[in-house]
Structure 1
Amino acid sequence: MDNKIGMSFTYWCQDWSGDFRYYARKIAGLGYDVMEMSLTNLDSLSRSGLDDVKKLGEDLGLGFSFTVGLTPDRDLTVEDEAVRRRGIEYVKRLLETAHYMGGDVLGGLSYCAWPPVFPPYPFDRSAYMDRAASSLGEVVKTAEDLGMTLCFEVVNRFDAFLFTTVDESVEFCKRVGSPNLKMHLDTFHMNIEEDLIGAAILRGAGHIGYFHVGETDRRPLDGKGRMDWDEFFSTLAKIDYRGCIIQEPVIRSGGQVGYDMRMWRDQSHGADEAQLDAMAKSSLDYIRAMCANY
């Protein structure tokens, strides 16, 4: 396997914003191929600001990938048509921004509000699914025009209610019917919802466009937990997965990131920035070794 390996800049941050230039230099210096950024914050930059970040990436040989979590006033699944329309146009614009920055994938919760907003119980889940299909069916046309892949993240039951398993998500991909709409999977969420991660990946073959990886408690991947990484990487090789493998570790409490991710304890054990860097580098070495095995 020769996939590009990436790291989210939020690993070092306690808020969703940050100095993209600083983290780009750090991530490239550690040897990663890709820096994952939140388009919500990147979208606030001026065109000259985007150009600065883009040029830096080119100079560093660092690629960019992008994710988003929608605010409630842009949820593509709700009954309010004005809210859906606002969200549709917003995600289209994010695709255009990602394309301008040289990205070819937009991942994350590109269809619903996050942090999650659940409707009062009981509710008609199928109606939300219908609206999601209609909305993303429109948005993905922009992805097609740009030659990009729109990936909707499949998360656990505590973070969303539409897509929690690979099987549900494959059916949704088939329903929308665009080769530019694929799943964004994450081993943290799969560990909660799937019986066997390898078997689930096999069932998702051809519909997976983006992958987040990490240990079960969201620390950087190191092979010291109970995840069977041989099963994971060998299965990716079996389905000939060519997309990015991105880390999105969350190990520190505090700040908006810690709150939104429900991180109530410090899993870094008080690590300073240099120690966080060392963990990120060690994790990258482990991932590259696993990819080389398959």
Structure 2
Amino acid sequence: MKIGVDTFIWTEVFTDKDIWIIKKAEELGFQAIDFAIAHPETFPTEKVIKELQGRSLQAVTSTTLNAENSLISPDKAIRENGIQSLKQLIGINKAIGSNILGGVNYAGWGCLTGKPRTEEEWSNSVNAMREAAEYAVKVHPALKICVEPVNRFETHFINTAADGVKYCKDVGTKNMAVHLDCFHMIREETSYTEAVKTCGKEFLGYVHVCENNRGIPGTGLVPFKEFFTALKEIGYSGPCVIESFDPGFEELNEQCAIWRKFADTGEELAVKGLANLREIAIEAGA
């Protein structure tokens, strides 16, 4: 099992000043690094390419859309903004050698309507995503676009593994997959094993290993041994990435309701989580 770390552990928006994080992640023993890219227009692609050279880290990315580029919007211009954002992210992924684009890439993160999703929203998002996915097939055929089911307080659109699989099937391209996150799963699924099996090897493309309170993985309620066993059973071979946030962040903490520290630093949380998850993975034979 390849355990990675999200750049959110150290920074809210990855820019030139954060290039040092790449070397630090490798020094701490992580095998993958997830570049969280909510603002692709400011991402320092060329410097990241240079810093990744000669390193063993697997690069992946995740993103969130917003009210101005949500694929579920009734406004065609806003949906087009989302398609262009995804195309820009696809280019970044190709450039840095990443074959995974995860996250809330199908709707505006935190943009709740106060109602269940509608057929119109579903059609809008699926059709817009299909355009982006078909573009990816042409320019970066190795890329998997992985949709992340998140909890009901962050979206009304895709909350469960079953939702994610249905979405991928409706988009209909072979480069669509599901991005499971343990934090969201404990709120929306009835079984970690069944959620993994619902995706299966065909549709499970990416995993975030977050604790139920976003604290140190392995110290809370998430049944990681069960989860890792299920991943092994379906033959999942992608990275399992630790994601959490520092209470000093602004935009993220408002969206994620992070009001207290779970470790003195985000780095401490990640390092202790890495040790815990390695031990659990060994117990699970993963």
| TM-score by shorter chain over 0.5 | yes
How do residues 119-130 of structure 1 correspond to structure 2 at under 5 angstroms? 119=113, 121=114, 125-130=118-123
Contact 1:43 / 1:94 at 8 angstroms: preserved in 2?
no
Match in the other structure for 2:273? 283
List alignment gaps of at least 5 residues for structure 2: none
- Once the two structures are TM-superposed, the CA of residue 286 in structure 1 deviates from its matched residue by 2.6
List alignment gaps of at least 5 residues for structure 1: none
1:59 equivalent in alignment to 2:54: yes
Give the whole-Å Cα distance in 2 for the aligned partners of 1:252 and 1:235: 32
User: How many pairs are equivalent?
Assistant: 280
Letter in 2 for 1:214: C
- Once the two structures are TM-superposed, the CA of residue 254 in structure 1 deviates from its matched residue by 4.8
Cα 1:144–1:132 shift into 2, 3 Å: same
- Once the two structures are TM-superposed, the CA of residue 253 in structure 1 deviates from its matched residue by 5.0
Match in the other structure for 2:214? 218
Give the whole-Å Cα distance in 2 for the aligned partners of 1:150 and 1:254: 27
Contact 1:153 / 1:185 at 8 angstroms: preserved in 2?
yes
Match in the other structure for 2:133? 140
Letter in 2 for 1:219: G
**TM-score w.r.t. structure 2 length?**
0.91
Over the matched positions of the two proteins, sequence identity in percent amounts to 25
How do residues 3-82 of structure 1 correspond to structure 2 at under 5 angstroms? 3-13=1-11, 15-18=12-15, 19-45=17-43, 49-82=44-77
Contact 1:251 / 1:266 at 8 angstroms: preserved in 2?
yes
Letter in 1 for 2:204: I
Of residues 150, 154, 160, the one that matches 2:149 is 154
Q: Provide, for residues 206-233 of structure 1, a one-character-per-residue CA deviation record: whole Å limited to 9, x for no partner.
A: 2111111121101131x23222211100
1:117 equivalent in alignment to 2:115: no
Letter in 1 for 2:190: D
Contact 1:253 / 1:263 at 8 angstroms: preserved in 2?
no
**TM-score w.r.t. structure 1 length?**
0.88
Give SS of 2:53's match: helix
Contact 1:253 / 1:266 at 8 angstroms: preserved in 2?
no
Contact 1:76 / 1:112 at 8 angstroms: preserved in 2?
yes
Of residues 177, 186, 192, the one that matches 1:191 is 186
Contact 1:43 / 1:97 at 8 angstroms: preserved in 2?
no
How do residues 196-211 of structure 1 correspond to structure 2 at under 5 angstroms? 196-205=191-200, 206-211=202-207
Give the whole-Å Cα distance in 2 for the aligned partners of 1:286 and 1:265: 21
Q: Provide, for residues 24-57 of structure 1, a one-character-per-residue CA deviation record: whole Å limited to 9, x for no partner.
A: 1211110111221122345414xxx422221211
Cα 1:257–1:139 shift into 2, 3 Å: same
- Once the two structures are TM-superposed, the CA of residue 279 in structure 1 deviates from its matched residue by 3.8
Match in the other structure for 1:244? 239
Give the whole-Å Cα distance in 2 for the aligned partners of 1:20 and 1:65: 16
Match in the other structure for 1:105? 100
Give SS of 1:117's match: coil
- Once the two structures are TM-superposed, the CA of residue 103 in structure 1 deviates from its matched residue by 0.5
- Once the two structures are TM-superposed, the CA of residue 12 in structure 1 deviates from its matched residue by 2.4
- Once the two structures are TM-superposed, the CA of residue 124 in structure 1 deviates from its matched residue by 6.1
Match in the other structure for 2:161? 166
Give the whole-Å Cα distance in 2 for the aligned partners of 1:96 and 1:72: 22
Contact 2:64 / 2:108 at 8 angstroms: preserved in 1?
yes
